[in-house]
Amino acid sequence: MFKPNIEKMKIKKDVKGFLKTLKYSDRVLVVDAINVLGEIKDKSAAEPLIENIFNKDKSIRLTAIFALGKIAGSRAVEPLISFIKSLSYPDRDTQIYAIFSLGEIGDSRAVKPLVKFMIVGDSNIREQVAIALDKIGWTPEDDIEKAYYLISKKKFDELAILGSSNFNVLFKLLDDSDYKICKAAAEILRQLKDERAIEPLIKVIKEGKMVGASYALAAIGKPTRLILSAN
């Protein structure tokens, strides 16, 4: 099969030629074509690119997802959301690229699944979710959403202020499956030294979730020792 000249096609902005190139078996050629389609930002490329976001070849899949973010086609929103609906999806890179492109497209349909992923998803990509939500123009609907957003953005000082006015937020975070989030909540409770935190912290310790809770209890002082001895 005749190999197309990507550079010449790029100069001419030959969208139809690039779309034909997507059917080639040469992976490098297909990836190059997808990259250029993303740069040209022609809306007619959206559907063919959507087909390729499910490609078994990871490099083609990721490049197509990234290109869709540049083209900003609303038709791509639901297919991209499918990558973050399941927490057990095996490829974190694909999820990160999908999150990025959802942020670039800026469609409000992505808000609900992104917020859910920020709360119960992988802590390693929560920051990417928060960035995407910022681009969409989302604002938290309650203190729990705000707390996870602040954690994702590593704004722990603001989280401490929020927690001092709503202890239930910090207690909720103590139950998170992510050790880093539990630790952040316990550290804020340690700083606040409020006796209302005693029972939730004891619960965390008894469940064997986090050693750091004991330091928070120690900071609260004598009431803690009395309650621990009573339990």
18-24: long-range contacts (C-beta < 8 A, 24 or more apart)?
A: 18/45, 19/44, 19/45, 19/48, 22/48, 22/52
Which CATH number applies to 1-71?
1.25.10.10
Count how many residues are written for the chain.
231
What pLDDT does residue 226 have? 56
- pLDDT at site 202: 83
Question: Which class for 42: exposed (0-12), middle (13-18), buried (19 or more C-beta within 10 A)?
Answer: middle
Same CATH topology for 77-139 and 156-231?
A: yes
What pLDDT is attached to residue 209?
65
Contact between 76 and 105 (Cβ < 8 Å): yes
| Weakest mean pLDDT among 76-85, 96-105, 155-164, 188-197 | 188-197
Name the CATH architecture for the domain at 77-139.
Answer: Alpha Horseshoe (1.25)
Domain ranges of the chain: 1-71, 77-139, 156-231
Over its C-alpha atoms, the chain yields an Rg (Å, rounded) of 24
pLDDT at residue 4, rounded to an integer: 84
Distance in angstroms (rounded) separating the CA atoms of residues 183 and 206: 16
Instruction: Read off the pLDDT band of 215 (50, 70, 90).
Output: confident
Q: What is the pLDDT of residues 93-150, one digit of tens each?
A: 999 999 999 999 999 999 999 999 998 877 778 899 999 999 999 999 999 999 999 9
Inform me whether the pLDDT recorded for 2 exceeds 70: no
From 60-64, 211-215, 227-231, the region with the lowest mean pLDDT: 227-231
Instruction: Give me the helices (H) in 27-57, please.
Output: 27-40, 46-52
CATH 1.25.10.10 fits 156-231, yes or no: yes
pTM: 0.84
Decide: 185 and 194 in contact? Cβ < 8 Å: no
